[in-house]
Amino acid sequence: MDMEMEFQIISRETIKPSSPTPNHLRTHKLSIIDQLAIQCYVPVLLFYPSNGQDSSQRSSLLKKSLSQILTHFYPFAGREVNSSWIDCNDEGASFVEANVAADLSMLLKQPQFELLQQLLPCKPNENSVPFRAREILAVQVNYFICGGMTIGVCLKHLIADASTVASFIERWGAVACFADTDVNGVILDRTSLFPPIDKTEGLSWGDSSDEEFLPEIVMKRLVFNGSKIAALRERVGNGLYLDRPSRFEAVSALIWGASIAATRETDETVDYHVAMSVVDLRKKLNPPLPQQCIGNICQVTTAKCSMEKSTDYNELAQKIRESIRNVDDESVRKFHEDGKWLDFVKKLGEEYGKKSKVRMFKFSSWCRFPFYEADFGWGKPIWVSTAMEQENGAIFLDSSDGQGIEAWVALPKEDMTQLEQNPDILEFASFS
């Protein structure tokens, strides 16, 4: 049964840093990974129960602490000038507040993707306004009639991967609680590691010239509890190629395999499948970068599977593991010499454009990022989600107990129908 929520926007304002950004920090250079990031926002939603405080108290604390944390994350209060740098001009972040005529518990029982998007300050993929004209950071605080609340955060992908968003939100909460917090290593110039390019026009991860012919994409949440994941790891690890898969490897192999099986039923023109995994490079580099440093410090790696081959989860998990293991300090540094990353993105775009031959599926794991540590003074969130639209992909987040995984999966409607009936998916996950 679909749920409806009545929203009333009660305030809109711009929050500026509590202290001005020094002149020598007014320019933040973008790396090639930033430049080639998809033009969208990275959205995160944090859900909190009632704690006895009224909305005005919470509002005052959130706005004050946001102003304070923006002095440390000062590029978030700036504006993109072009594809090479951000003017850290302290113009500020958008802050919206809304009343929601609904009970938070009802939404948590059956989260609907379209309703979650209404809790955000903007549509993550909205293109009605020139992208460079909009804020880098936007926040929406939603007050439910039960006293619960949701904080929706949208950060431009231009300067933020999921790790960036998690670190920012956690530090914002720490400032709200303690006024002063350690933010060393947040702003780094990464252009020596990932040299930028002069021109990015015309580059993309895919060919959108035939958008009117694109299939209808459906978003569903698959919930894997801790015990099911343990059983799945045993199942996937029982084979010739891999003994003990990680949580990510096991769940990715299952979903990728189910997607391949669905495509066999719905599209006979596909020759092979490619799994793209987003790898956080902070710990891959030597010396490692601080986990809290901002920017797109990640890289896509690929694993391929022929359409004709049977769906062997063990083999798929091994392919995913090897593709990620191949990303190390030496390979990353070589990859970014002489424009190899640009060449890789161009090749991926060309392959993705061959929609009748190649089916891409993108995995992005936000697990183990400190989203559930975001305490603004009224406790940690009871649930964390995203509402990021995608095409053929899955975003993984930790369940609230830290043991399970919640996967937001996007597939063409026909493929999703097949996925929902897949016996292996139904054995290990539940749809909601």
User: Is 157 an annotated catalytic residue?
Assistant: yes
* 3 state SS of 301: strand
| HSE-up (13 A, CA, CB side) for residue 218 | 14
User: Is 375 an annotated catalytic residue?
Assistant: yes
Q: Catalytic pick from 157, 161, 280, 398?
A: 157
pLDDT at position 210 is 43
* Residue extent(s) of CATH 3.30.559.10 domains in the chain: 7-178, 211-431
What does each of the 432 residues of the chain score in pLDDT, given as a tens digit? 567 788 899 999 999 999 999 999 999 999 999 999 888 999 999 999 998 888 999 999 999 999 999 999 999 999 998 888 999 999 999 999 999 999 999 999 989 999 999 999 998 886 544 555 579 999 999 999 999 999 999 999 999 999 999 999 999 999 999 877 777 779 999 999 999 988 655 455 544 434 444 578 999 999 999 999 999 999 999 988 888 999 999 999 999 999 999 988 888 888 889 999 999 999 999 999 999 999 999 999 999 998 766 789 999 999 999 999 999 999 999 888 877 878 888 877 776 665 558 899 999 999 999 999 999 999 999 999 999 988 899 999 999 999 999 999 999 999 999 999 999 999 999 998
Determine the Cα–Cα distance for residues 301 and 335; give it in Å rounded to an integer. Answer: 12
pLDDT at position 211 is 46
Indicate if the alpha-carbon torsion angle 19, 25, 26, 31 is positive or negative. negative
Q: Which DSSP state fits 288?
A: P
Determine the Cα–Cα distance for residues 72 and 152; give it in Å rounded to an integer. Answer: 20
Determine the Cα–Cα distance for residues 270 and 64; give it in Å rounded to an integer. Answer: 53
pLDDT at position 207 is 42
Amino acid at 209: S
pLDDT at position 149 is 96
pLDDT at position 271 is 85
Q: Which DSSP state fits 54?
A: -
| Under 8 Å between Cβ of 345 and 36 | yes
Determine the Cα–Cα distance for residues 394 and 367; give it in Å rounded to an integer. Answer: 12
| Under 8 Å between Cβ of 103 and 144 | yes
CB atoms within 10 A of CB 356: 10
Q: Catalytic pick from 90, 207, 267, 375?
A: 375
List the beta strands (DSSP E) in 322-400: 358-365, 383-385, 393-398
Fold of 211-431: Chloramphenicol Acetyltransferase (3.30.559)
Which CATH superfamily does the domain covering 7-178 fall into?
Chloramphenicol acetyltransferase-like domain (3.30.559.10)
pLDDT at position 2 is 66
Q: Which DSSP state fits 261?
A: H
Determine the Cα–Cα distance for residues 24 and 218; give it in Å rounded to an integer. Answer: 47
Q: Please name which of 355, 351, 349 lies closest in space to residue 214, comparing C-alpha atoms.
A: 355
pLDDT at position 378 is 93
